[in-house]
Amino acid sequence: MKPPIRVLVVDDSAMMRKLIPQMIQKDKEIEVVGTAINGNFALRKIEELRPHVITLDLEMPGLNGIETLKQIMRTHKTPVIVVSSYSTEGASITMKALGLGAVDFVAKPTDLQPISEVEQELIAKIKAAATSKGVCALPETPVKVRKTASFSNKPASKVIAIGISTGGPNTLQYLLSQLPGDFPGSIVIVQHMPENFTRMFAQRLDDSCALRVREAQSGDLLLAGRVLIAPGNHHVRVRQMRLADVVSLSNDEKVNGHRPSVNVLFHSLAKGFGARGVALLMTGMGDDGVEGMGAVRDAGGTTIAQSEESCVVYGMPRVAIQRGYAQSAVSLEALAPTLQALCAPERGASTGASAGTNSG
């Protein structure tokens, strides 16, 4: 029997220091070895207790969460799960923490959210963090990339649907920064992330790449060089209409425990775009998107999984490869040139709504 995952809980709230251990120790594979009231106590207890994973509150007196995280990343490299407040300010500081190397985050429970949901999410993310390879930290102040003076409104040569979870923010920021502003494809992304966080995330990505990135709205056009992020708590679908290719949003029931769900996006890609569709599964835990990737493959689209060595958590891509749905495994460094080659318009080929295989 393997030893339990040793967890240190860091939070200035006495209630959370009691609640978090109660939640996560319901799982026999997890042991809370200690708690800390602030960053200074946390750093001493890391030395003493050698936890495998740390849950970290960001808004603490004294040595705050961000400064504590920097020291953990610099000295210990212990995987950190941020426990964040469900607010605009909380979203902003959480994005910063992910950029500094936190593996993932969980939003603190609200009055509208069952404790059981937060409990399941936190347990799953602690287990994923314990087996993760760590997150490559980004510069604390991202370099804001200048956009080209004007963007074309060209239809996309291909529609790329990306599913991603744990380790996703930094991985996506790297990938998108490698693509040029005149990239001929259109990209739609499901990153498992709650409301209040996806808009901030889209803005961060937009600031750091030459492409146009925004949180998706129903009716947004799928244009060359555009990246649309599924809003938290909304499914996103791609549709081929008579005049243009668009996205649509819905509040349908959760799929695979997620809203947005990668499976929902991938199934819409298979239905509407056939050979013009590219499904890409990247770092993340679980199997959301795997079934939908099989549908994209069967519809004649291209299916890619991020390679094991370049994933923070080799979950979703691993299952897709095991089931034979991913046609290739590609490293993070090679993904941008791979996508550019796939989306380069063929000579004499038409693009846009008329180039799809089915109506959606």
**Catalytic amino acids?**
165, 192, 288
Measure the CA–CA gap between 251 and 196, rounded to whole angstroms.
16
- Rounded Cα gap, residues 224 and 222, in angstroms: 7
Distance CA 230, CA 234 (A): 7
117 vs 202: CA distance, rounded Å: 25
Residue 108 token pair: 């603190």
Name the nearest CA neighbour of 83 among 12, 29, 181.
12
Q: Which residue has the tokens 């800390």?
A: 36
Partners of 81 in beta bridges: 55, 104
Q: Are 321 and 138 in contact (CB under 8 A)?
A: no
Q: Region of 324 please: left (phi>0), alpha (psi -120 to 50) or beta.
A: left
56 with 65: CB under 8 angstroms?
A: yes
Determine the residue type at 285: M
